[in-house]
Structure 1
Amino acid sequence: MVLPVNRDGFLLPSAPNFRDLGGHRTESGRTVRPGLLFRSDALHSISAEDLSTFNGLGIRQLLDLRTSHERENLPDIVPEGAEYAVVSVQDPEKAGANFSRTLTDPEAAQAMFGNGGATRFMDEVYRDLVNDTEALDGYRDLVERAAKGPTSLVFHCSAGKDRTGWGAALLLTLLGVERRAVIGDYMESNTRQANTEKWMRLLSDHSGLEWEDVVPMTRVRAEYLNIAFEQVDAAYGSFDAYVTEGLRVSGTTLEALRERMLV
């Protein structure tokens, strides 16, 4: 069962998947503090109309989860007073980091994404977000930066749904938010993909694929996130073991994260 969420609307219409992780209740009855943890899609597109709001959120860290190719092509707009940091969570040689290039080659696109390939591709992306050394190092960095500060912080990728989605699921789970609410937060990305859909439709036009073949990469599905959690259990036996043995996050860091982020 997925627990629906009712969040705070579109804080930044020009970055529709920008939202606050605050307000979620934990299983112990505490609440994630609002205004400290933000998740987002790409931040190169902040409009002039949204800039004052963006600068007024008090963001002190902007963590960019994108690949070097994405960062160079579409550099972020960084809020006033914020530190910009690259936090890599994807092996740049993996297909998941280069799918947009594949879509420019019709033959390669058909081979990889046709006939249900896009769904299989997404399944593999989520396994890699748990397994890859780059992902383990990057998500540890995300947790440590959230715990240490300075806060507030925003972390993002391009669509704000997969790399960012697993990062948000990780942080909320560490803070004690129940799984149904974690999945509910994750699924909300589907209502916030206007920018991504425009971009993906352009890529689809050049790929020779039918739009239906591409759709699995433009949306989140609960089964995608569940694949990541299942991979955690398969590789480590439990979420706690994934955190301590895979991510190598210390107990001191977890205590600091919860002290900073919960009321």
Structure 2
Amino acid sequence: MGIVCLVTNDGFLLPSAPNFRDLGGHRTKDGRTLRGGLLYRSDALHTIAEQDLPAYQGFGIRQLIDLRTHHERDRLPDVVPEGAEYAAVGVQDADAAGANFVELLADPEQARAMFGDGAAERFMLEVYRALVSDTEALDGYRDLVERAAKGPTALVFHCSAGKDRTGWGAALLLTLLGVDRAAVTEDFLVSNERQANTDHWMRQLSKDSQLPWEDVEPMTRVRAAYLDTAFAHIDELYGSFDDYVADGLKLSAGTVEALRTRMLD
């Protein structure tokens, strides 16, 4: 099932992909500014409407990083900007419980077992722990950072709703660039204002699964607790964010410096 575009607010860069936004403009703790027009985050990019194509092509995107699983990519392939490199960079085990979300919610018995009676929030907290610890996530987010640091720009990275896998990717990049936690969290929570496509899609899945909306709703929004869980899990596993970068992601100091040189004024 595709995600139907509902947002028409002129304030959105791409109304048919409402969570498409430029990370430029963020200030770092040492007073530098993230350049605009280099680094974009987004929700699903198969939804780009014909009337949005001129704007989409006009962003000068040269890399599109698709963080979805093969289930999602095969079902709903991206609209790739002309001249852009496309890279499938998975950050989630495609065979893990809950990874094939549409199929799981289409089965009422499985959906109730997985998400019923308040289990959806616990599921989301586990998702965020996995995003900073699973092998697929470590490999995928290292690839994302290296591509942002060294590959052609502008770059856009995305998943389906642009809030969880993309949300952690944005939090990682902004933290590497020196943006403080409060601003990182603020950027993370902006996704809640841009979920009209996801709400439409998820309400249909909720109906198919026979789960009440309140059981599904924690998976349709981001909460500060989700991001806090990821950062806390980093501290538990690695001791600090810097050690996560060096020992978990295995990013070199040179790559981090190249990212900062490229992205910051």
Shorter-chain TM band: over 0.9
Aligned CA-pair RMSD: 0.9
- Report the residue type matching 2:67 in the other structure: L
Q: Give the TM-score normalised by the residue count of structure 1.
A: 0.96
- Describe the SS at the equivalent of 2:127: helix
- Describe the SS at the equivalent of 2:132: helix
Which residue in the other structure is 2:210 paired with? 208
- Report the residue type matching 1:95 in the other structure: A
1:97 deviation in Å? Answer: 1.4
- Report the residue type matching 2:237 in the other structure: A
2:175 corresponds to which of 154, 161, 173: 173
Which residue in the other structure is 1:147 paired with? 149
Alignment of 1:9-158 (within 5 A): 9-158=11-160
Structure 2 residue 256 is the aligned partner of structure 1 residue 258: no
- Report the residue type matching 2:110 in the other structure: A
- Describe the SS at the equivalent of 2:40: strand
**C-alpha separation in 1, matches of 2:100 and 2:83:** 32
**C-alpha separation in 1, matches of 2:101 and 2:55:** 33
CA contact (8 A) 2:98 2:104 kept: no
- Describe the SS at the equivalent of 2:12: coil
**C-alpha separation in 1, matches of 2:99 and 2:253:** 31
**C-alpha separation in 2, matches of 1:10 and 1:74:** 22
1:100 deviation in Å? Answer: 2.3
Which residue in the other structure is 1:195 paired with? 197
CA contact (8 A) 1:25 1:31 kept: yes
**C-alpha separation in 2, matches of 1:95 and 1:167:** 21
CA contact (8 A) 1:22 1:37 kept: yes
Q: Name segments (4+ residues, structure 1) moved above 2 Å.
A: none
Which residue in the other structure is 1:5 paired with? none
- Report the residue type matching 1:61 in the other structure: Q
**C-alpha separation in 1, matches of 2:237 and 2:173:** 19
CA contact (8 A) 1:118 1:216 kept: yes
Give unmatched runs, 5+ long, in structure 1: 1-7
- Describe the SS at the equivalent of 1:95: coil
CA contact (8 A) 1:63 1:156 kept: yes
Percent sequence identity over aligned pairs: 72
CA contact (8 A) 1:96 1:125 kept: no
**C-alpha separation in 2, matches of 1:151 and 1:9:** 24
- Report the residue type matching 2:20 in the other structure: F
**C-alpha separation in 1, matches of 2:52 and 2:101:** 30
Deviations 1:50-78 (A, max 9, x none): 00000000100000000001001100000
1:159 deviation in Å? Answer: 0.2
- Describe the SS at the equivalent of 1:85: strand
Count matched residues.
256
- Describe the SS at the equivalent of 2:47: coil
- Report the residue type matching 2:221 in the other structure: R
- Report the residue type matching 1:246 in the other structure: G
**C-alpha separation in 2, matches of 1:34 and 1:228:** 27
1:249 corresponds to which of 239, 248, 251: 251
Q: Which moved more, 1:8-17 or 1:116-125?
A: 8-17
Q: Give the TM-score normalised by the residue count of structure 2.
A: 0.95
Which residue in the other structure is 1:4 paired with? none
- Report the residue type matching 1:224 in the other structure: Y
1:149 deviation in Å? Answer: 2.0
Give unmatched runs, 5+ long, in structure 2: 1-9
1:108 deviation in Å? Answer: 1.0
